[in-house]
Amino acid sequence: MATYRLGAIARSAVRVSTGVGIIRTQQHNVVRLLASSAGKQSSSSGGTLRLALKGVAVGALLGTGWSGYNYFRGEPTDHMIHEKTGPTYLDRLPDVRIMRKVVNPKDDSGLELVLFQFQTCPFCCKVRSFLDHSGLSYSVVEVDAVLRQDIKWSSTKKVPIVLAKTRSGKYVQLMDSSMIVSVLASFLKDKSQDIGELAKYYPSISFVNESGRKTSDIMNKYFLMLQDSKQHKANDAQDEERKWRSWADDHLVHLISPNVYRTKDEALETFEWFSEVGEWDVHFPKWERDLMVYVGAVAMWAISKRLKKRHQLSDDVRSHIYDACDKWIAAVEKNKTPFLGGKKPNLADLAVFGVLNSMEGCQAFKDCLDNTKIGGWFYAVRKEVMSNRGHVA
Read off the pLDDT of residues 231-274 as tens digits, 9 standing for 90 and up: 555 578 899 999 999 999 999 999 999 999 999 999 998 888 88
The phi and psi torsions of 329 (rounded to 5 degrees) equal: -65, -35
Amino acid letter, residue 363: Q
Place 276 in a pLDDT band, splitting at 50, 70 and 90: confident
**Chain segment 278-297, per-residue pLDDT in tens:** 788 887 888 888 888 888 88
- Look at residues 226, 108, 89 and name the one whose alpha carbon lies nearest to residue 164: 89
Whether the pLDDT of residue 10 is over 80: the answer is no
Question: What DSSP element (H or E) covers 270?
Answer: helix 264-278
Q: Residue 347 and residue 161: Cα distance in Å, rounded?
A: 19
Place 227 in a pLDDT band, splitting at 50, 70 and 90: confident
Choose the weakest-confidence range: 195-204, 296-305, 338-347.
296-305
DSSP summary character for residue 263: S
Place 341 in a pLDDT band, splitting at 50, 70 and 90: very high
Choose the weakest-confidence range: 55-69, 119-133, 279-293, 366-380.
55-69
Q: Residue 322 and residue 51: Cα distance in Å, rounded?
A: 45
pLDDT of residue 284: 83
pLDDT of residue 234: 59
- Look at residues 360, 301, 284 and name the one whose alpha carbon lies nearest to residue 37: 301
What is the average pLDDT across 83-98?
A: 92
Amino acid letter, residue 103: V
pLDDT of residue 295: 86
DSSP summary character for residue 185: H
CB 74 within 8 A of CB 214: yes
**Chain segment 299-317, per-residue pLDDT in tens:** 889 888 888 988 899 999 9
Q: What angle do CA 231, 232, 236 make, to 5 degrees?
A: 105
- Look at residues 270, 240, 193, 258 and name the one whose alpha carbon lies nearest to residue 352: 240
